[in-house]
Structure 1
Amino acid sequence: MSKAAGKLKSLKKNVERITHTTKLKTNIPAGMAAAGPPLGPMLGQRAINIAAFCKDFNTKTAEMKEGVPLPCRILMNSDRSYDLAIHHPPATFFLKQAAGIQRGTMTPGREVAGKITLKHLYEIAAIKIQDPPNALLTMQQMCEMLVGIARTCGIKVVRDLDPTEYAQFLEERKVIVEDQRRELLEKREAKMLRTG
């Protein structure tokens, strides 16, 4: 038994540390990286200095509007250093900003949450095509992809948009959104009563 225990101890000494070769993919709000969950535990599992990472990320995103979600790719090196790649905000963020809405529709295809023009779509495509995952796409492919994303958010792409008519549409839409929020809140409360 003692020979086996001795061999086991020598095996433990020979085992190397696990190195994470996959990239950590996460969305971090600009200028708001903090050591708390969910970011802190993800970095801690990969043996990255959390405080140094947060400081580095916040300085790199200092010129951006605070709170804008930024997709990040973090590649860990064996010497506990990391390579940080910060991409442009997600397409859904840009589309909702261009449409002037806070959230998309609950039933895509059946209701319209907002509208954008082709010019908005082209400008968003010009920004998003600069991201490394989209580098091999043509502008037409990028625009087609954005049209599909807009459709899933309930955003309609139109040629021309009348500002006064659209402002009236958004006012009508606010009432619908409030009704949907109230309905969701009632469902959540009913579920809490059933489980409590």
Structure 2
Amino acid sequence: MPKKTIKIVVEGGNVKPGPPLGPTLSQFKLNVGEVVKKINDVTAQFKGMTVPVTLDIDVDTKEYEISVGIPTTSSLLLKKANAQQPSGDPAHKKIGDISLEDAIDVAITKKPSLTTKTLKSAVKSILGTARQIGLTVNKKDPKEIIDEIDQGKYEDILSKYEEKWTKV
């Protein structure tokens, strides 16, 4: 039973049956409307964000399995800041502000795809991305927050999330 894998990047909860997905699914004789509805259902929690999706199709039986990846760090941060897109000039134009807890939440969400071992280093990585796309954290430049983390200023906040980090 040959299997075919299709990898696509979609907007969560907003997949359309048109090209390029529709024709691709049609060639495997799948019900395009049904597959699109299922993809929209499983990606609904990521509405408005770009999310990777993998379709594993059994060519003989026409059965398929949908796997949803984790949205990009930028997408998660933009959603937390209620911003539409990154700043074209992050050094001079800020597009929003998030809390340190928001950054910690994004780090925990992204843990499976991060190479860091500790919550502290994961949060610092997320803060770096926040800085690159033009976000402030607690109304400060994320670099300042990184320096303060290195000085031990947020140990109490980080320790509150440590258990959640280890369970992911």
TM range (shorter): 0.5 to 0.7
The 5 A counterparts of 1:152-171 are 152-157=132-137, 160-161=138-139
Q: Is the 8 A contact 1:28 1:72 kept in 2?
A: no
Q: Could you say which residue in structure 1 is the equivalent of 2:79?
A: 97
Q: TM-score by structure 1 length?
A: 0.54
- Counterpart of 1:147 (choices 127, 139, 154) is 127
1:24 matched residue in structure 2:
7
Give the equivalent residue in structure 1 for 2:165: none
1:48 to 1:83, Cα distance in 2 relative to 1, 3 A? farther
User: Where does structure 2 lack aligned partners over 5 or more consecutive residues?
Assistant: 141-168
Q: Find runs of 4+ consecutive structure 1 residues off by over 6 angstroms.
A: none
Change (3 A) 1:148 1:44: farther
2-structure distance, mates of 1:140, 1:48: 48
| Distance in 1 separating the partners of 2:83 and 2:110 | 20
1:70 aligns with 2:51: yes
Number of corresponding residues: 136
Structure 2 length normalisation: TM-score? 0.61
- Amino acid aligned to 2:64: Y
**How far, CA to CA, are the matches of 2:24 and 2:116 in structure 1?**
31
- Change in 2 beyond 3 A, CA 1:97/1:133: closer
Percent of aligned pairs with the same amino acid: 24
- The CA deviation at 1:137 is 4.1
Q: Distance in 1 between matches of 2:121 and 2:65?
A: 29
Greater relative contact order: 1 or 2 (C-alpha under 8 angstroms, separation 6 or more)?
A: 2
Structure number with larger C-alpha Rg:
1
Partner of residue 108, structure 1: 90
Q: 1:81 to 1:144 in 2, by over 3 A?
A: farther
Q: Match of 1:77, as an amino acid? A: D
- 1:88 is displaced (CA, Å) by 4.0
Supply the distance in 1 between the matched residues of 2:56 and 2:121 (Cα, whole angstroms): 28
Tell me which residue corresponds to 1:123. 105
Q: Which runs of 5+ in 1 are unaligned?
A: 1-17, 163-196
Contact 2:9-2:50 at 8 Å conserved across structures: no
